[in-house]
Structure 1
Amino acid sequence: MAHPWHHAQSSARRFGGVPDDYVAVHGWFDQTKGHLADVRHRALLHSSFGIFLCEQFFGPTIRRASDGKQVPTRLIGEQHVLEDLGRIPTVQDWLGELPLQPWMLRNAAALSRQDTKPAEEGST
Structure 2
Amino acid sequence: MTTDETSRGMIEISPNAIASLAGHAVLQTYGVVGMASPNLASDLVASLTRDPHRGIQVRQDTSQIIIDVYVVIEYGTRIASVANSLINAVRYTVEQSIGIPVGQVNVHVQGLRVSRHE
| TM-score bin, normalised by smaller chain | 0.3 to 0.5
**Larger proportion of strand:** 2
Q: Normalization by structure 1: what TM-score?
A: 0.32
Q: Normalization by structure 2: what TM-score?
A: 0.33
Return the structure number with greater relative CO, CA threshold 8 A, min gap 6. Answer: 2
Query: Which structure has the larger Rg over C-alpha atoms?
Result: 1
**Larger proportion of helix:** 1
